[in-house]
Amino acid sequence: MKADIGVVGMAVMGQNLALNIESKGYTVAVYNRTRERTEELARGPAQGKRVVPAYSLPAFIASLSRPRKVLVMVKAGAGTDAVLAELFPLLEEGDLLMDGGNAHFADTERRLAEAERRGLRYLGVGISGGEYGALHGPAIMPGGHREGYALVEEILLRTAAQGPEGPCCTFLGPGSAGHYVKMVHNGIEYAIMQAIAECYDLMKRGLSMTPEAMAEVFSDWNQGELSGYILEITEKILRYVDRETGRPLVEFILDTAQQKGTGKWSTQAALDEGACAPTIAAAVFARIASALKEERQAAADVLPGPRAAFNGEREVVLKELFGALYLTVVSAYAQGMRQLRQASAERGYTLSLPEVARVWMDGCIIRSRLLFPIRKALAANADLPLLFMAEPFISRWTEHHEALRNVVTRAHQAGIPVPAMSSSLDFVDAYRTARLPANVLQAQRDFFGAHTYQRVDRDGTFHTEWEML
């Protein structure tokens, strides 16, 4: 029995994707470097299913129908390179390789070039949704060879989450388009998570609220415009009671957040392309700051600050906090979409941003009700420079910007850091300011480096001998 597709890498994501694909009526070959994991799958959840276990890569390749279609689900980086180095010689012209890991887009470009040299088709496939999504339907973001996508389009569309506006999968563009979109998705994810964590901190320290009370607030917010997966799981986290202590588990979790690198890559790429994404960057630096646990504990005893408590009625503060969170989340999406627009133009991805928003509507971590108006705004104006320049976001800025200012002010007065909210406010304030103080920066650059400047009252490029007064 020849398999329709093969999956290499039987960690949880690989296993669940293989089982998901099989459940849609396909025969799936599976292989893992360690034989035991493949055997566990074959004897366990795959028993009796159209899953063909293989215990060597040659046997795995031999079990696939032609043209062969192979999805690699191993750790990004050196692990992926090692597997591809073994697979490349075993495949034949016209076969398809897909990397479903969180690969850096530059690695995807390099691997795609190697595949082309060998006459193979290649896709860099961004996959979001975690273990549950992999089994029940993730958001899938493929890019690379369009003819390669045509070979697996039906399989991917049926495997993906079935969203409100169609399967959460589409061919995004050539080269590393798929992995670039997934990278920016994760950057937005970092920013939204940080903004929600800041709300938690403000409720806990500023309003002295219990986790159960906070869960009620997040539950209420999740019924409206901000409804989304990250809000949903935050409510569940706050309600979870530790069986050993009988208290909320969240209070016992060490306050150091880790990262796998995609948020950092998104920020680095934004800097390289001159894309303005300060909220995403702030979220990355917030995680880095959280890792300084011992230093923070020492500084807490040395550096004075105000009492971390808010004045005013709780309901008033919570209403303002909703507005602040709303604008911060929209800012994260806006910055991510702007970065994708710039990257698409620079790298020739030919991205359709309305389609990106559609793919993110279900299955992925940043799925949210906000993606409906986001897609509508992007579809209505192909040249939209920033989401805040379209409805309903113009009206929401008008409605909530005072709340965001008040929350940031309250937080700073109480000594509670809110980097995502602060950076979002500064970002939009800078964007809506017709004349920024960059004239002074350019004069400084010209003073010490003769970098020249332009004038507002005449055309041309100028340099001044500033010391010759």
Confidence at residue 219, expressed as pLDDT on a 0 to 100 scale = 98
Q: Is 189 a catalytic residue?
A: yes
Q: Is residue 469's pLDDT more than 80?
A: no
Q: Are both 5-175 and 436-469 of the same fold?
A: no
Mean pLDDT, the chain, whole residue set? 96
Q: Which residues contact 345 (CB under 8 A, 6 or more apart)?
A: none
- Distant-in-sequence contacts of 250-256, Cβ < 8 A, 24+ apart: 250/211, 251/211, 254/293, 255/290, 255/293, 256/290, 256/291, 256/293
Confidence at residue 300, expressed as pLDDT on a 0 to 100 scale = 95
Of the residues 22, 189, 235, 320, only one is catalytic, namely: 189
Rounded Cα distance, 27 and 52, in Å: 7
* Confidence band for 242, pLDDT divided at 50, 70 and 90: very high
For the segment 69-83, what is each residue's pLDDT rounded down to a tens digit? 999 999 999 999 999
Confidence at residue 95, expressed as pLDDT on a 0 to 100 scale = 98
Given a contact cutoff of 8 angstroms between Cβ atoms, the answer to whether 293 and 256 are in contact is yes
Confidence at residue 171, expressed as pLDDT on a 0 to 100 scale = 98
Question: Could you tell me the sign of the dihedral formed by the alpha carbons of 147, 148, 149, 152, in that order?
Answer: positive
Q: Is residue 119's pLDDT more than 90?
A: yes
The mean pLDDT of 57-78, rounded to a whole number, is 96
Confidence at residue 260, expressed as pLDDT on a 0 to 100 scale = 73
Of the residues 182, 198, 235, 320, only one is catalytic, namely: 182
For the segment 251-269, what is each residue's pLDDT rounded down to a tens digit? 999 999 987 778 899 999 9
Angle at 279 between CA 278 and CA 281, to 5 degrees: 60
Specify the residue for token string 């929209």: 330
What percent of the chain lies above the pLDDT cut of 90?
96
The mean pLDDT of 3-26, rounded to a whole number, is 97
Q: Is residue 433's pLDDT more than 90?
A: yes
What CATH architecture applies to the domain 182-431?
Answer: Orthogonal Bundle (1.10)
Given this structure, which CATH class describes domain 5-175? Answer: alpha beta
Q: Tell me 459's DSSP state.
A: S
The mean pLDDT of 238-245, rounded to a whole number, is 96
Q: Can you give the pTM of this predicted structure?
A: 0.95
φ, ψ at 468 (rounded to 5°)? -90, 70
Question: Could you tell me the sign of the dihedral formed by the alpha carbons of 171, 176, 181, 182, in that order?
Answer: positive
Instruction: Assign 3-state DSSP to the chain and report helix, strand, coil percentages, each to 5.
Output: 55, 10, 35
Confidence at residue 78, expressed as pLDDT on a 0 to 100 scale = 92
Rounded Cα distance, 105 and 173, in Å: 13
* Strand residues in 102-165 grouped as ranges (E): 121-128, 139-144, 162-163
Confidence at residue 261, expressed as pLDDT on a 0 to 100 scale = 78
Nearest to 360 by CA among 231, 186, 225: 186
* Polymer length in residues for the chain: 469
For the segment 177-200, what is each residue's pLDDT rounded down to a tens digit? 999 999 999 999 999 999 999 999
The mean pLDDT of 88-95, rounded to a whole number, is 97
Q: Is 376 a catalytic residue?
A: no
Confidence at residue 262, expressed as pLDDT on a 0 to 100 scale = 84
* Confidence band for 377, pLDDT divided at 50, 70 and 90: very high
* Fold for the domain defined by 436-469: 1.20.5
Indicate the domain borders of the chain: 5-175, 182-431, 436-469
Confidence at residue 361, expressed as pLDDT on a 0 to 100 scale = 98
Confidence at residue 143, expressed as pLDDT on a 0 to 100 scale = 98
Confidence at residue 263, expressed as pLDDT on a 0 to 100 scale = 86
* Confidence band for 106, pLDDT divided at 50, 70 and 90: very high
For the segment 261-291, what is each residue's pLDDT rounded down to a tens digit? 788 999 999 999 999 999 999 999 999 999 9
* Confidence band for 1, pLDDT divided at 50, 70 and 90: confident
